[in-house]
Chain A
Amino acid sequence: QKEVEQNSGPLSVPEGAIASLNCTYSDRGSQSFFWYRQYSGKSPELIMFIYSNGDKEDGRFTAQLNKASQYVSLLIRDSQPSDSATYLCAAESYNTDKLIFGTGTRLQVFP
């Protein structure tokens, strides 16, 4: 069974701090990894994707991938109250068309 695991949270950080969200995956065949943001009652919205080991930065967001440890993380710098949402980690394996999602980590950024 291919799984993506996340701590459900909530993760509470003060405004301006760095939020660190983590994810592990079980399928070594996973090739691409995604971070989605989901506000309550809304659809997932893609923030970042990563498929190479190392870091990938986009604005305030940095995704990190370590395939040897089967670990993906998302750092949000200068966290804002508007970043408060559930962050979903997802993995896609080679030669498949589906995303396997984790349960998501709820992030709360307080002023």
Chain B
Amino acid sequence: EPEVTQTPSHQVTQMGQEVILRCVPISNHLYFYWYRQILGQKVEFLVSFYNNEISEKSEIFDDQFSVERPDGSNFTLKIRSTKLEDSAMYFCASRDDRNNEKLFFGSGTQLSVL
């Protein structure tokens, strides 16, 4: 079965540093997402991306966050100046059509901000 690939699997950073989390969605997919899950808490929606622009974002996705699809295969999440509370598992997800119920999640990047 096709996979959404995320790198790195673990990222440790100092507070205030910039991090970029990388994702390679499934090749024929057009809709891309970032979700995060703080340890012991709900999976939370951050942002959706289609046709090279953000289609929806949550309150969590403030000016410190940005997304990009730089080269037609990668989909990145940048956090400009990390805070302790950004520590979480970040999941990338994709689907081929907005009405397709099957959303494929990547294996996640565990971000630890020290």
Which chain A residues have a beta carbon within 8 Å of chain B's beta carbons? 32, 34, 42-46, 49, 88, 90, 96-104
Contacts and interface: CB of A to CB of B under 8 A. Distances in A.
B25 to A, nearest CB: 14
Contacts of B31: 97
A43 B90 CA distance: 9
Interface of B: 31, 33, 35, 41-45, 48, 50, 55-56, 58, 91, 98, 101-103, 105-108
Q: Name the residue among A43, A44, A49, A90 with the largest chain B CB count within 10 angstroms.
A: A43
25 contacts: A32-B101, A34-B101, A43-B105, A43-B108, A44-B43, A44-B91, A49-B101, A49-B102, A90-B43, A96-B56, A97-B31, A97-B33, A97-B48, A97-B50, A97-B56, A97-B98, A98-B33, A98-B48, A98-B56, A99-B35, A99-B45, A101-B42, A101-B43, A102-B42, A103-B41
A98 B43 contact: no
A45 B45 contact: no
A88 B103 CA distance: 14
A49 B106 CA distance: 19
Q: Name the residue among A42, A45, A98 with the largest chain B CB count within 10 angstroms.
A: A98
A88 to B, nearest CB: 6
A102 B37 CA distance: 12
B84 to A, nearest CB: 21
Nearest to B99: A32
Contacts of A102: 42
Give the 3 A-B residue pairs with the shortest CB-CB distance, closest first: A98-B45, A43-B105, A97-B48
A41 B49 CA distance: 25
A97 B101 CA distance: 11
Contact of B42 (A42, A49, A98, A103): A103
